[in-house]
Structure 1
């Protein structure tokens, strides 16, 4: 374990300054671990009466008879007793009577009045409370904060997946319907625990080496960081997959090949953490961010709150340019969105291999066009992510070809008007040694009132091929114009030479 409090370095300073603040971040990113460690450190120092609680038990559910404020007070009392605080620092028992909508205010004030130490309350899973109950809780905290000199907790941290403001945004993401005024406008800062750096991933894996003698090679650590981009749950899950599930003996070093297997196993298994992210993809405000990423289009009519919400979920990068947060999430997103199409694709993969075990790209592309002619229009009409339907259908086809044998690396970001794909396929060379076949593919869409994208696509593909040091590539152009000729008439494959002299297979779809 890495030192948890170091992941929220501003928290201690804010507490010393009597501030109320928010800690937000995706699930399984280390928030709870950091809060528990912080509460323990504050108590051990003896300066504060610090109590950690989870609001999950006070979540908004029909089967809860008591209001959230009552359930929160109950959890505070229980956790304070179990925390080891001195008797004189514990909350009053029972809590004072108060009318509904004032119980939390009155109770926390009574606790702060009788406690000889400043009270610090760390409230995790605050977004488990919703609607009017959340508004009531936040308003009571705001009222208590502003009631000086009436005693109230010295500092309060609210922790959840999203910022408090976003917790009160309607599910369609329209900020014009936000609760106004925002009932927690007193917060000093909203912070997010940073993902692990490469050095921290190496340090964490190095602890396993120190304990067992089993080494992670430098390439394995690089692969783990590239695939996870330091997302804490993924970093730990990859190592767990190798050590506990794949059971690589301690006498063997853990290599990048082991890490590649672990990445694929995580994606296929879609553990709870990945499944919870996948479930968000059907939300309108998530789709408004993710769909342009898949197509490379410029975002239009998208609320800033959509981007903030998707960032708080951990699905996209925290800083520009906007991209999916890491390669593992990229794969999960594409496979979830294309899984219905992929289930309908049936063929023998051996038909797409040459005699020496390489991918037969001409056959792959020709067979895809045949599939597209028969099914393209039907599949596009069924796809929820309609603007990205072409990309998703081709990715489903390609994944069926490559699945379990090679690696598909995809690059996409807003505003570039394309998706770049690099397929890496292992085979045996003439000497019987393992070699890799690399294939570069670029996807573009011809949209209404837009010029033919072939020329731009060839220039863009040139840059991608130079980056990969390849002499040939494939450009696939999907025609989405209402005036486009019928599928049977417009689909074709031809060979071109790019402006920089690369051999290009152009697929018109």
Structure 2
């Protein structure tokens, strides 16, 4: 069976295109050789399980270690019943060992009845009888909660000194969504962090499995070219990296959509247009990975970070604020400062999900904004939006749960509805910028058969209480955006959110003005 791009479950080298495990976790073998206890963490569906399973296989196949990867998910149902949690983990170890290890390396019969130290006793017994040093990868460790998690970590710490005499696993890796210090200890309604990493203060390193680099995206896509002969057109691989930010699931999903769903034939190269079409298809389909991220947007701690991000407001959080760390560990925002959405596809998903109710309430017919020559009648869109805003704006602002970004989401939702698959709305926003920039692309064919792409640029700003009119700053920012897009004109939308602002029907108007660079700018106030 030919290899394919994988978007479900761990990758298998014979079946899937993949980056080798040692390239993704190059520090792993060295830490194992040092007898290290260490942590691997990363957002979901970044390849943690694939990398650790492959590393375990390679370590065992090398003949020096008995290495086993297993999941702790079965212990989640045990809650604070640490005896049942230990039994669930040990049962999973035995099940995985039967399929992954030679008989001589598999664990013996576990010791007697479960008690507070069963896990330590069982791992001690296995370490003593195993002919090779034991290396264990505890995947999904953060599925274990409450007293059960405390018990597991304490037993691993207690056995740590005994590894020197062969009486405990040589090396242990804890793998999860978050670093060990950020594991939540849940007890009823109370939630606290481990903080200093105690009771697992024996860890040597915390490794964050990163996204693919541009070279790794090229390597992965190059495997498809090698297997099938299908080329990627100039700029296509770079565009895939730009859209995905190297997020492994997105990199694979984008290519899979082109190859399997759009079914671009192998003799035909994969182009930037194919990738854009694929991105739109799986965003609209709300595939599982994107849907699970979207569900997080309703969480108060996510809203606390994403709300200011959407509004362009300063993020008034401490650098180690737990909400910021949490949203970063989910993969929604980039791992490094400045705070920003992780990639353009996530930006699109966030905006569409949060503005979906707006799109449902827009009754305008998208076909009415297509000109006779096939182009997009953007001035008409602005006129009709202004009328719709005067009628519905006050109500919609009060009903949205991202209040600080309500006008931005309302305008974005309206535009997304009227574009309706005929074009693309690309969004850029970042904390502290005070704005959202929109780039609308409308590909069309003229009556004479010419292929063209119409582009429109729009900047959204809000007038906050105690602040000056943002017009002057907005025009300067819009000039810079238009310079980057190489456009001669654009639109600035300013929404007045001051409590003492005039009534919505009094303040809403469309006029023109001139930017500092001398460009003619359409000004929408609402």
Q: Once the two structures are superposed, what CA deviation does each residue of 1:318-377 show, in whole Å capped at 9, x if it has no partner? A: 112221111111111111111112111122112223222222222111111111111111
Local SS of the residue matching 1:270? coil
2:66 is the counterpart of 1:49:
yes
Matched residue, 1:34? 51
For the Cα contact (< 8 Å) 1:55–1:125, is it kept in 2?
Answer: yes
TM-score (normalizing by structure 2): 0.91
TM-score (normalizing by structure 1): 0.94
2:75 is the counterpart of 1:58:
yes
2:111 is the counterpart of 1:96:
yes
Matched residue, 1:130? 145
Which structure 2 residue ranges, 5 or more long, are not aligned?
1-17
Local SS of the residue matching 2:449? coil
Q: Quick one: distance in 2 between partners of 1:456 and 1:100?
A: 66
1:293 to partner: Cα distance: 1.3
2:129 is the counterpart of 1:114:
yes
Alignment of 1:57-76 (within 5 A): 57-60=74-77, 67-76=84-93
For the Cα contact (< 8 Å) 2:183–2:193, is it kept in 1?
Answer: no
Local SS of the residue matching 2:326? helix
For the Cα contact (< 8 Å) 1:98–1:106, is it kept in 2?
Answer: no
Matched residue, 1:500? 517
Q: Quick one: distance in 2 between partners of 1:60 and 1:399?
A: 42
Q: Once the two structures are superposed, what CA deviation does each residue of 1:135-172 show, in whole Å capped at 9, x if it has no partner? A: 2211211222145667211111111122222221679x
Bigger drift between 304-313 and 33-42 goes to 304-313
Q: Quick one: distance in 2 between partners of 1:107 and 1:121?
A: 13
Taking a change above 3 Å as real, the CA distance of residues 169 and 388 of structure 1, as seen in their structure-2 partners, is farther
348, 354, 360: which one pairs with 1:343? 360
128, 139, 143: which one pairs with 2:154? 139
Q: Quick one: distance in 2 between partners of 1:459 and 1:489?
A: 26
Alignment of 1:343-362 (within 5 A): 343-362=360-379
Local SS of the residue matching 2:355? helix
For the Cα contact (< 8 Å) 1:341–1:396, is it kept in 2?
Answer: yes
For the Cα contact (< 8 Å) 1:170–1:178, is it kept in 2?
Answer: no
269, 273, 285: which one pairs with 2:301? 285
Q: Quick one: distance in 1 between partners of 2:164 and 2:466?
A: 65
1:430 to partner: Cα distance: 7.7
Local SS of the residue matching 1:60? helix
2:384 is the counterpart of 1:367:
yes
For the Cα contact (< 8 Å) 2:83–2:114, is it kept in 1?
Answer: no
Q: Quick one: distance in 1 between partners of 2:448 and 2:74?
A: 63
For the Cα contact (< 8 Å) 2:80–2:148, is it kept in 1?
Answer: no
228, 243, 246: which one pairs with 2:259? 243
For the Cα contact (< 8 Å) 2:82–2:116, is it kept in 1?
Answer: no
Q: Quick one: distance in 1 between partners of 2:513 and 2:85?
A: 66
225, 231, 239: which one pairs with 1:209? 225
Matched residue, 2:20? 3
1:211 to partner: Cα distance: 1.4
1:85 to partner: Cα distance: 2.9
For the Cα contact (< 8 Å) 1:49–1:85, is it kept in 2?
Answer: no
For the Cα contact (< 8 Å) 1:60–1:133, is it kept in 2?
Answer: no
1:61 to partner: Cα distance: 5.3
Aligned positions, number: 505
288, 312, 317: which one pairs with 2:334? 317
Matched residue, 1:270? 286
